[in-house]
Amino acid sequence: MNIYNVLFVSNSISYAEEFKRIAQFNSTINLIGIARGLHDFRMKIRSAPIHVVIVSDVLADGTLQEVMNELVNEDVIVFGVLRDSYQSTLLDNYGVSSVTEAEMNPADVVDFLAQNLTDYPIEEGQVFEQTPQEEVEPFVSRFEEGYDNYSHKSPQQEMQRNSYSSGYSSREMDRQMNVEREGPVQRQHTSARRATTMGVLKPKVVCMTSAKGGVGKSALAIEIAACIAARGKEVEVNMSTMRGSQSEVKAVLVDLNCAFGTIASTLPCVSDMKNPPTLADWVIKIRDKIMRQLSSEDKRELQSMEQPRYAPYIYKINRNALSFTKEEVMSLLVKEPKSGLYVLPTVSSNYDVSQIESEFIEIIIEELHNFFDVVMLDTGNNFEEFTQTAFRMSNEIYIVAQPNYQVTVIIRNLLRDSVEGLGIDKSKFRLIINHPQTNKQVISDEAMQKALDIPFVGGINHDENMLLAHDEGKFYVINNKKKPVSRAITLIANQICPLWNVANAPKKGLFDKLFGK
């Protein structure tokens, strides 16, 4: 009997995880793995012989068109399972059939492939032995080469994994095992487009980063996030375009800069709270959810480790088991009362940092994205795991820099490592120039943008009053809307989340050249 190796290219977590669970019981379909984006796809397409590629329009990085361009010269069958039906036009241009997730659930797709692939001739020499299926999948580590580091399987587990060769269909196997299939977790507005008075809003994850310390990155992250949250309380939302019942545009600021914890020390809503929730509290919750799903054997194995690693066990359980309810999410955040901004402070000790595995950061970001319109990540000026994960999970990455040649060289190296090393799409990056107090500027904004070859979204002139406001634990922009620095920050905030009518806003300098008439 022919066995068909299948690769699923999708970051639609609940759908992909359910597909993996069902496919493992089918004797015809051998799921090689799930690639979360373009970078993962490029790694996996060469790792084993592939007969079928299922593509989705939900990707962690890259676009569906880029994936299809990669597949043009591949001798594989391609099938689309899409979140949004409008992308079917793109697949039609490539002669590829598709359905939406709403039209066919994972069990139906597995059965459809199993039934129809039997009529597909495999050329001599292309029939392969079944490749061992990945035990790990819901959150693919996009910064590790392969999965060797996650292999903690006992010989008994290996035997069990290779024993899935029954002739039952996936539904019949579920009935035999008396398994009740879990449905996808109901989300409030996952990837929903929401119409405001100013335009169409699509929930997004944005990252604020820098290549050098002391450039005002965290200060700008605080002001931009507060600016969006405060404006989000004022705009009208067309309720017919959104899921759930909330009428505000919600924003959350996540502090991933563990070395300094600037956000916690700046905002009184955090610093004045006794034992505020932090990233470490999320880790405890995630660990508890993992432990409740593990077998007794896995629990003993995990507890026997000198330094327990929970990440490998994430991939053994259903993704829905790690989901958070709205009540859980809100209980793990701090709300700033005036602006309406939600805050997730960083950990309070270096010991806590060592307990946070990068997969936990992915889970936290994805859970926040389910309930917030803007998830803003403030990273450190480094290229460590937290920062890499933030880059991969973000729709847009804003690099805050001061204008000088040295910083320009450092940023170019950062872009190179991100694009070539991590497979990050360069189109994600944007440049914000935060001008120093001195008027002496050795490189112009325009020259710096040209050298980096990424979009310039705005320049911020130094304002000592903003720093003084932060020293007093106060926001500056929302309290001083007419100040030049406030207008500049508002323009940037509007590019991230279009809640303002800035058609008549003053433009000058390079901003005028890029976004003017």
What pLDDT is attached to residue 149? 38
Paired strand residues for 209: 399
User: pLDDT (tens digit, 9 = 90+) per residue, 386-418?
Assistant: 888 999 999 999 999 999 888 999 999 999 999
The mean predicted confidence, pLDDT, of the chain is 77
Contact present, 193 and 202 (Cβ < 8 Å): yes
Give alpha helix (H) positions in 143-186: 155-161, 170-176
Q: How far apart are CA 164 and CA 32, in angstroms?
A: 14
Q: Which residue has the higher pLDDT, 469 or 117?
A: 469
User: pLDDT (tens digit, 9 = 90+) per residue, 122-166?
Assistant: 543 333 333 343 333 333 333 233 333 333 333 333 333 333 222
Q: Which pLDDT band, with edges at 50, 70 and 90, does 54 fall under?
A: very high
What pLDDT is attached to residue 248? 72
CA distances from 146 to 47, 69, 149, 394, 423 (A): 9, 23, 8, 22, 15
* Main-chain dihedrals φ then ψ at residue 77, nearest 5 degrees: -85, 135
Mean pLDDT within 444-457:
91
Share of the chain above pLDDT 90, in %: 29
Q: How far apart are CA 436 and CA 461, in angstroms?
A: 7
Residue type, 282: W
What pLDDT is attached to residue 9? 92
Q: How far apart are CA 453 and CA 448, in angstroms?
A: 8
What pLDDT is attached to residue 22? 86
Q: Which residue has the higher pLDDT, 186 or 491?
A: 491
pLDDT of 182 above 80: no
* DSSP string for 191-252: T--EEETTEEE--EEEEEE-SSSSSSHHHHHHHHHHHHHHHHTTS-B-GGGSSSS--S--EE
Domains of the chain: 4-176 (3.40.50.2300), 194-274+318-515 (3.40.50.300)
Q: How far apart are CA 219 and CA 411, in angstroms?
A: 19
Q: How far apart are CA 131 and CA 165, in angstroms?
A: 12
What pLDDT is attached to residue 258? 75
* DSSP string for 464-513: HHHHHHHHTT--SGGG-TTSHHHHHHHHHHHHHS--S--TT----HHHHH
* Apex 331 CA angle, 327 and 337, nearest 5: 110
User: pLDDT (tens digit, 9 = 90+) per residue, 188-234?
Assistant: 444 455 555 555 567 899 999 998 888 889 999 999 999 999 988 88
Q: How far apart are CA 404 and CA 394, in angstroms?
A: 27
Q: Smallest Cα–Cα separation from 77: which of 93, 62, 96, 102?
A: 96
Q: How far apart are CA 477 and CA 354, in angstroms?
A: 36
What pLDDT is attached to residue 253? 95
Q: How far apart are CA 360 and CA 279, in angstroms?
A: 9
Please state whether the predicted TM-score (pTM) of the whole model is above 0.95. no
DSSP 8-class letter at 420: I
User: pLDDT (tens digit, 9 = 90+) per residue, 312-334?
Assistant: 888 788 878 889 999 999 999 99
